[in-house]
Amino acid sequence: MATEPIPTLETTEAIQSHSASLRKELTLLDLILAQVLLVIVPDFFGTAVKAGPAHVVLWLSAILLFFVPLAFVVAHLNRLMPLEGGLYEWARLAFGDQIGFLVAWNLWLFIMLYVAVIGLVTTTFVGYAVPSLAWIADNKWSVLAASVILIAAQMLLAAIGFRLGKWFNNAGSIAVLITVAVLISLPLMNLSNGTAAAFHPLRLAAPPLTVFTLSVFSKMTFGALSGFEYVAIFAGESRNPARNIGRSILITAPAIALIYIFTTSAILAYVSPDAVDVIGPIPQALRRGFGNLGAVIVPVAIFLLLGNYLSTFSLYFSGSARLPMTAGWDHLLPAWFSRLHTRYKTPVNSILFLGGATLAASVAALIGVGEQEAYELLLTWGFTFYGLAYLALFAIPLLAPKARGIRPGISLRVAAASGFLVTLLFVLLSIFPVIEVESQSRYSIKIAAVVLGADLLGWIIYRTSQQKRNQT
């Protein structure tokens, strides 16, 4: 069988010509706030708390081995290829249509499953904010109703586009910054007024060398610190993307690293590793930290954090809808996915398809398992698909043909190798749960079967579409 031809960099002109019809709504400030929104994932504070006092060492290791390499690799690739579609187009231009399609497929599956937790997250946070409604987090019909309403809202906002959506996203970024600032300062306030005995946010404790620790570390590393490349999906909707996307990374990276370390320490001041609620660790810590004095403050902080979640889901959802659109531009999917709204210039058909698939995933995950396990399954499936796409991201500086002009110098290739190995560790350990589940073996089989089966389905879709294309 002949080797699949690799698209030349000249094909970027065709991509840019399609992008010319999109609205250029995103400024540098919007991109900075988008990076905060995408990279600070409150879900993984609960995972980090599972590491206990060893979390600082694990965070520092994750930053050195993964976060810093990711920042430099993404800045390098975006500077060379500031294209709508981001990582999908980078992989396609480096390795060919088939790899590019599978990267887009895994990114699309990641968002579909990640946004599918929207009902679980919302009902949990409402339960923390309004104790009299705590029952809705354990009621599957309430979770389902929340999922339907909120996914429909995501579709509407994505269809309107960034003229409105960017303000919602920016508000979500500001909300999480306010919330973590309150949480980080809370143990210090309690220490000063005598209601806390001690607080050591930077305590260095060696983590035990166990499979559980490795699993927690890999989830902290990849799950919490990934996301810098995602903004590049909107390169065609950004002003001066070659410069501004790289700047947004360099500005936000140090702040994000500090936020993860200090917020995890603040949660551990109130919640033990074995008692943490992995769906809502920040609301849990806020309620315990404020106690009876937080009747007003805690609900406000929790609703701010919920606003951050909904904004994050919105931005991810909008990005995922762009992937079928750009694949349609490249003739890897039917042109139906690339059809733009006449007024808003958004891919309305792709948005409709993604919304339906996301709702189906949120319903399927609630069948036969508890809410915490359903949440962990959706999150692990989604981020494992994301991890597979990241293997391609870090492989580009290492393995892209020299003729493409993409491969960097030796120092950046070493950084890419570090990121690749850490991502591979995450993918391999994704089958091990960090919470108690009814059956660990059944949990592991579910993770492996869904990931392998979904990627096989993606390959079949690609091959079938190519055969039909060749016959016409």
Q: Give 136-162 pLDDT, tens digit per residue.
A: 878 888 888 999 999 999 999 999 989
pLDDT for 370 equals 58
pLDDT for 356 equals 93
pLDDT higher than 50, residue 3:
no
430-462 per-position pLDDT tens digit: 776 655 666 777 777 888 888 999 999 999 999
CA geometry: angle at 363 spanning 361 and 365, to 5°?
A: 70
Tokens representing 20 are 């010319």
Provide mean pLDDT across the span 283-293.
Answer: 80
Average pLDDT over the chain reads: 86
Q: What are the residue ranges of helices labelled H in 330-439?
A: 348-365, 371-399, 410-429
pLDDT higher than 50, residue 67:
yes
The Cα-based distances of 347 to 172, 343, 384 in angstroms read 23, 11, 26
pLDDT for 75 equals 93
3-state secondary structure string, 438-465? CCHHHHHHHHHHHHHHHHHHHHHHHHHH
Q: What percent of the chain has pLDDT over 70?
A: 89
Tokens representing 113 are 């499953």
Tokens representing 59 are 């965070």
Strand partners, 26: 238
pLDDT for 442 equals 77
- Choice among 6-10, 364-368, 405-409 with the minimum mean pLDDT: 6-10
Beta-carbon contacts of 270 under 8 Å, excluding residues fewer than 6 positions away, are 187, 284, 285, 288, 289
pLDDT bracket for residue 109 (50, 70, 90) = very high
pLDDT bracket for residue 2 (50, 70, 90) = very low
Cα–Cα distance between 347 and 161 in angstroms, integer? 9
pLDDT higher than 50, residue 44:
yes
CA geometry: angle at 84 spanning 93 and 89, to 5°?
A: 15
pLDDT for 155 equals 94
pLDDT for 392 equals 96
Tokens representing 250 are 């360099």
Provide mean pLDDT across the span 310-326.
Answer: 92
Cα–Cα distance between 259 and 39 in angstroms, integer? 11
pLDDT bracket for residue 212 (50, 70, 90) = confident
pLDDT for 198 equals 66
Tokens representing 64 are 């050195």
Provide mean pLDDT across the span 356-380.
Answer: 74
Listed by start position, the domains of the chain span: 20-466
**Tally of CA atoms within 13 A in the half-sphere of 427 that contains its CB:** 17
pLDDT for 207 equals 84
pLDDT higher than 80, residue 86:
yes
Dihedral of the alpha carbons of 119, 120, 122, 125, in degrees to the nearest 10: 170
221-256 per-position pLDDT tens digit: 888 899 999 999 998 899 999 899 999 999 999 999
pLDDT bracket for residue 129 (50, 70, 90) = confident
pLDDT bracket for residue 57 (50, 70, 90) = very high
pLDDT for 402 equals 82
pLDDT higher than 60, residue 263:
yes
pLDDT higher than 80, residue 470:
no
**Tally of CA atoms within 13 A in the half-sphere of 68 that contains its CB:** 14
Cα–Cα distance between 177 and 171 in angstroms, integer? 10
* Three-class DSSP category at 71: helix
Cβ(67)–Cβ(40) below 8 Å? no
Cα–Cα distance between 155 and 149 in angstroms, integer? 10
pLDDT bracket for residue 374 (50, 70, 90) = low
pLDDT bracket for residue 1 (50, 70, 90) = very low
pLDDT bracket for residue 35 (50, 70, 90) = very high
Q: What are the residue ranges of helices labelled H in 371-409?
A: 371-399
pLDDT for 91 equals 95
pLDDT higher than 50, residue 300:
yes
Cβ(316)–Cβ(310) below 8 Å? no
404-419 per-position pLDDT tens digit: 778 888 999 999 999 9
Class of domain 20-466: mainly alpha
